[in-house]
């Protein structure tokens, strides 16, 4: 467990590079906030950001010695690493420590570079969005950019059709936050379905409410869209709260639905499901507040178990061509393995696809199996592993065959 004297060698190993030929003990990081900079010489956005980060680092060092920065390289060879690191005033994970580089990328769910993570002296992650911190706070006045709390962000007053509502009246309720916008076609498709779900839930449950968090481009669009909704809304003018909530719940795309539990004595609300869009279904009302399942229908969502296919490896079974009975057996097998893996705290997500279209077709295309739509196919997609994937040659999908493929997926193929 992280502690006040966290040993950063758990992340970086015993030594860090200070130059091409010199090192320093990782123990020198003890008691400091540590920025971890994922970057590469070949990456144009990295090359543009690195000089800005160097200026920030050098200026902040003058007033705040209790931090350090460690470069974690995605360079393609050591010569490129050496050339790039020579431009930098900070430390680096030795290039040869590729296993630690991969482990750090997975731990902090780094899906693109440049990425800047800030870890506290206790080893706890403070923010994975340090890049925005450098851009928005170039003097470092707010460093280490401790994220705002929900209690400090959520407004005291919410909008409704009949007037303002005190947000404190929702303290004892499960709270859904609906991130959406009038201009967004997927949002326009999902909102009517969510209205049905909300209205049906309201008939039997007094312990829930929903608040619209708008990404509309102006207040007129917000007003038009909100007029279609039966729930509450964050006041459109409160753009700072909107931005803070989007960051707080890692909302990278819309529509997005987050479910929080009732307010605790300290003002916090537990996150029940940070990716509940796929759960908000008329056939799933009894399962509210929709604790995350370790499996999902790929046609409905790329998220399950609190993560998505961009963040975690995923076992996916494509069964669009199977008949109803075979599909039921396949889905049952996927669910059974997923539940067992959840108990073991396994890293894999599990998806089934029983209908074509949308993201199902897109994943088929990306993995080169779009020409086999008349076959049942199982793959492992590992985007966090630099876009790797694996294709099973097994056609009889059972708990045993899924488990065997998960444990030994075979030859790795690189996404193009």
Taking the C-alpha atoms of residue 49 and residue 131, their distance in angstroms, rounded to an integer, is 9
Question: Could you write out the DSSP letters of every residue in 206-217?
Answer: SSEEEEEEE--S
User: At which residue do the structure tokens 């209908």 appear?
Assistant: 355
Tokens (6 digits) for 140: 């470092």
**Are 86 and 14 within 8 A, CB to CB?**
no
Taking the C-alpha atoms of residue 155 and residue 161, their distance in angstroms, rounded to an integer, is 17
Residue 6 pLDDT greater than 80, yes or no:
yes
pLDDT classification of 341: cutoffs 50, 70, 90: very high
DSSP-derived letter for residue 293 is P
Taking the C-alpha atoms of residue 302 and residue 415, their distance in angstroms, rounded to an integer, is 18
Residue 23 pLDDT greater than 50, yes or no:
yes
What angle (nearest 5°) sits at the alpha carbon of residue 402, between those of residues 276 and 384?
55
Give mean pLDDT, residues 332-352: 93
Which segment of 99-103, 189-193, 298-302 scores lowest on mean pLDDT?
Answer: 298-302
Tokens (6 digits) for 142: 């707010």
**Are 23 and 92 within 8 A, CB to CB?**
no
**What average pLDDT does the structure give for the chain?**
93
pLDDT classification of 3: cutoffs 50, 70, 90: very low
**pLDDT at residue 4, rounded to an integer:** 60
Residue 349 pLDDT greater than 90, yes or no:
yes
pTM recorded for the entire structure: 0.70
Residue 254 pLDDT greater than 70, yes or no:
yes
Task: Give the containing element (helix H, strand E) for 321.
Answer: none
| pLDDT tens-digit readout, 72-105 | 999 999 999 999 999 999 999 999 999 999 999 9
Residue 356 pLDDT greater than 50, yes or no:
yes
Taking the C-alpha atoms of residue 109 and residue 56, their distance in angstroms, rounded to an integer, is 24
Taking the C-alpha atoms of residue 411 and residue 393, their distance in angstroms, rounded to an integer, is 11
Give mean pLDDT, residues 28-34: 96
Q: Where do the domains of the chain lie, and which CATH numbers do they carry?
A: 9-136 (3.40.30.10), 150-284 (3.40.30.10), 293-414 (3.40.30.10)
What angle (nearest 5°) sits at the alpha carbon of residue 370, between those of residues 367 and 376?
90
Q: What percent of the chain has pLDDT over 70?
A: 99
Give mean pLDDT, residues 199-212: 97
What contacts 78, CB < 8 A, 6 or more positions away?
A: 95, 96
Question: Could you write out the DSSP letters of every residue in 125-179?
Answer: EEES-HHHHHHH-TT-TTTT-PPPPHHHHS-SEEB-TTS-EEGGGGTTSEEEEEE
Residue 156 pLDDT greater than 60, yes or no:
yes
Q: Which among 345, 347, 369, 337 is positioned nearest to 356, based on CA atoms? A: 369
**pLDDT at residue 300, rounded to an integer:** 83
Give mean pLDDT, residues 180-208: 97
Question: Could you write out the DSSP letters of every residue in 224-280?
Answer: HHHTT-SSEE--TT-HHHHHHHHHHTT--SSSEEEEE-PPPTTS---EEES--GGG-
Give mean pLDDT, residues 331-351: 93
Q: What percent of the chain has pLDDT over 90?
A: 84
**Are 279 and 198 within 8 A, CB to CB?**
no
pLDDT classification of 301: cutoffs 50, 70, 90: confident
pLDDT classification of 1: cutoffs 50, 70, 90: very low
Peptide bond into 343 cis (omega under 30): no
């Amino acid at each position: 467990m992280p502690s006040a004297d966290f040993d950063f060698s758990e992340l970086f190993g015993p030594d860090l590079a200070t130059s091409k030929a010199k090192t320093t003990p990782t123990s020198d990081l003890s008691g400091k906030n540590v920025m971890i900079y994922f970057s590469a010489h070949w990456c144009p956005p990295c090359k543009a950001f690195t000089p800005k980060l160097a200026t920030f680092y050098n200026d902040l060092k003058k007033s705040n010695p209790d931090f350090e920065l460690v470069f974690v390289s995605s360079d393609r060879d050591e010569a490129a690493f050496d050339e790039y690191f020579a431009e930098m005033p900070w430390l680096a994970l030795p290039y040869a420590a590729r296993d630690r580089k991969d482990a750090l990328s997975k731990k902090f769910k780094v899906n693109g570079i440049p990425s800047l993570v800030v870890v506290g002296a206790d080893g706890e992650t403070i923010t994975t969005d340090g890049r925005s911190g450098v851009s928005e706070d170039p003097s470092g006045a707010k460093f280490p950019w401790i994220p705002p709390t929900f209690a400090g962000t959520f407004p005291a007053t919410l909008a409704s059709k009949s007037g303002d509502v005190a947000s404190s009246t929702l303290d004892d309720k499960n709270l859904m936050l609906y991130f959406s916008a009038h201009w967004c076609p997927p949002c326009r498709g999902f909102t009517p379905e969510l209205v049905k779900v909300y209205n049906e839930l309201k008939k039997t449950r007094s312990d829930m409410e929903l608040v619209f968090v708008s990404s509309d481009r102006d207040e007129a669009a917000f007003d038009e869209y909100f007029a279609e909704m039966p729930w509450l809304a964050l006041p459109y003018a409160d753009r700072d709260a909107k931005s803070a909530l989007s960051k707080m719940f890692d909302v990278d795309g819309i529509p997005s639905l987050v479910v929080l539990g009732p307010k605790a004595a300290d003002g916090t609300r537990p996150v029940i499901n940070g990716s509940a869009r796929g759960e908000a279904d008329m056939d799933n009302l009894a399962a509210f507040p929709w604790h995350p399942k370790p499996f999902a229908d790929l046609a409905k969502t790329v998220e399950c178990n609190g993560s998505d296919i961009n963040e975690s490896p995923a076992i996916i079974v494509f069964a669009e061509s199977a008949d109803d009975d075979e599909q039921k057996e396949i889905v049952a097998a996927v669910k059974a393995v997923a539940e067992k893996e959840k108990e073991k705290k396994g890293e894999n997500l599990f998806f089934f696809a029983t209908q074509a279209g949308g993201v199902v077709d897109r994943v088929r295309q990306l993995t080169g199996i779009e020409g086999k739509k008349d076959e049942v196919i199982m793959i492992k997609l590992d985007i966090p592993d630099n876009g790797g994937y694996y294709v099973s040659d097994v056609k009889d999908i059972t708990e045993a065959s899924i488990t065997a493929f998960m444990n030994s997926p075979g030859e790795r193929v690189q996404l193009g």
